[in-house]
Structure 1
């Protein structure tokens, strides 16, 4: 299988953009992830998929975390946590009840560890949702390797 071609195929699926944050003895950490999904309503569970080769993968093992859903216009924040640090970027951290989160996020979902699964070159972390908050607004999307803004639509 041509892995580069397969990656392009997967890029045909438009996603939102999140930053998964947690705290360790070394401080607050985050990683950009678009592999995020809801799993269950009862109990409330979500899933994030994290590359095994990243430091963040080990930070999430048996650790509470927050999923920060980014707003349109937060591309610099996404890139910062995707391994392209921007020292000039002002990070506005908030201490959540379970995990630190980014104050300017469109939505935040705080979780405690539920289960971790082998996902090949990734680890699939399931978190039990303990707390969440969200606002109305435009979201940051990702499609075919590019960011775009998802317009806010009227709720039906």
Structure 2
């Protein structure tokens, strides 16, 4: 069966995702790339993944290097564009710790990782990182949906997961009669 890559990409675009900039140090300089293929993998050990097009510079740079995942806030669309190859006049402020990858100042969240494993993912490489530190800020994320940046709407009053029979704690507020 042949799938049209453009049509598949359009279909996959219906899945809303956050926007991150994955950063690392290359030849003594910070380097970053806008990535929306990011996911939590495990809490024990603490692992996350980023999936990068194997033809990209960022994919090559991440191999066996510490990296940071910078989750962008809703006001950071210019930062996302900058690291997607469309530089803007937006100033980029780096924090460069001695013991981990450089990261962006002002991100909604930052996850610093040591390289864990890399896997073949077709035209992408899946990089897993072991989280060694993280930081959070207040705000809403920048979201990518149907090829455009978006902002979140109004939040639900309760987390749907906590009302689910699949809640990982095995506790639920539902009582079966």
- Give the TM-score range, shorter chain: over 0.9
Aligned twin of 1:59: 61
Question: How many correspondences in the alignment?
Answer: 155
RMSD value, Cα: 1.5
Relative contact order, higher structure (CA 8 A, sep 6+): 1
CA distance in 2, matches of 1:26, 1:43: 29
Aligned twin of 1:101: 103
Flag the 1:111–1:105 CA change in 2: closer, same or farther, 3 A.
Answer: same
Task: Looking at secondary structure, tell me which structure has more strand per residue.
Answer: 1
Shift of 1:26: 4.9
Q: TM-score, normalised by structure 2?
A: 0.83
Shift of 1:151: 5.1
2:126 pairs with one of 119, 124, 127: 124
Q: Structure 1: where are the runs of 5+ without partners?
A: none
Q: Structure 2: where are the runs of 5+ without partners?
A: 160-177
Flag the 1:6–1:40 CA change in 2: closer, same or farther, 3 A.
Answer: same
Shift of 1:150: 2.2
Q: Check whether the contact 1:17–1:140 (CA below 8 A) recurs between aligned residues.
A: yes
Q: Check whether the contact 1:139–1:151 (CA below 8 A) recurs between aligned residues.
A: no
What secondary structure, in the 3-state scheme, does the structure 1 residue paired with 2:41 have? strand
Higher CA-based Rg: 2
